[in-house]
Amino acid sequence: MPQQQRPVQQPYGQPMQQRPPMPQQQRPAQQPYGQPMQQRPVQQPYGQPVYNNYQQNYGMPQKKKKGKGLIIAIIAVILLAAIGAGIFFILRSRQGDTNTDTKTNTDANKDIPETVNYYDVDETDWYYDAVMWAARNGIAGGNMFLPEEPCERAQALTFIWRVKGMPKPSLKVSPFTDVTEKDYFYKPVLWAFENGLISVSGDGQFHPGDATTRAQAVTFLYRAEGSPAQSGTSSFGDVGTDEWYAPAVIWAENRGLISADSAFYPEDACIRAMYITFLYRCYK
């Protein structure tokens, strides 16, 4: 059997050959404990100014944008002016409400100016003097008269009631189902009922918003003056002697409220300008 060759034995007492040391990886320098780490400066792109990362130097006040407070003040003034103008025009429009006959009964004759200017009444109008007379005497108010509008039944009686000095009616309860205490024409209607200007119809209503006819207009005035006896006939061809309004028409002709013509048109609506003119000619 062949023998295995053993390695050469190192003589006893001879030093062992030292292997060369392995290279060790260099560790980064350790920062001393408790010392802050050094921060690297922020690298700024080439050609760009340094901005200090929005950090303000301690003790230095921040710069305020000039003109910002002035712009806010100007906007606030403009808004306040707009709001004030809006309120002014709203109040003015309410003051000039066209429904001038809905005044409360207690202030009908208060603060009536010597000169009244209606936007829809001109000095050249045939009814100008009558309307100005009505305004100065507290019969009509507001700054619009609406002369061509039909005169409502409630308005017609209210005009007469004001001419008569706004007497207080003795009735405490309205005889009409469509006339209540909240209505501006409540006292005029009750007064007219007490004095025989009107009566309760079959339906128990007064119909305050209906247009006053020409026959009703002269009849209201005729009855307000006590219904004086009349003789003769009317000059109008459409007013028969047996008509319920014939005495009133004859009286109106005799008093100069209306002029004789071929026709009276008793069922036509009496416009506000015409009705005020009737009042003016009767009570001026």
For 25-34, the pLDDT digits (tens) are 555 555 555 5
What lies within 8 Å, CB to CB, of 98 at 6+ separation is 142, 144, 146
pLDDT band at 43 (very low <50, low <70, confident <90, very high): low
Is the pLDDT at 100 greater than 60, yes or no?
no
Q: Which residue has the tokens 């006053």?
A: 212
pTM exceeds 0.75? no
Pairwise pLDDT comparison (207 vs 20), residue with the higher score:
207
Q: What is the pLDDT of residue 104?
A: 37
Distance between CA atoms of residues 131 and 126, nearest Å: 10
Is the pLDDT at 250 greater than 80, yes or no?
yes
Dihedral of the alpha carbons of 130, 133, 138, 140, in degrees to the nearest 10: 30
User: Structural domain boundaries of the chain?
Assistant: 68-97, 102-283
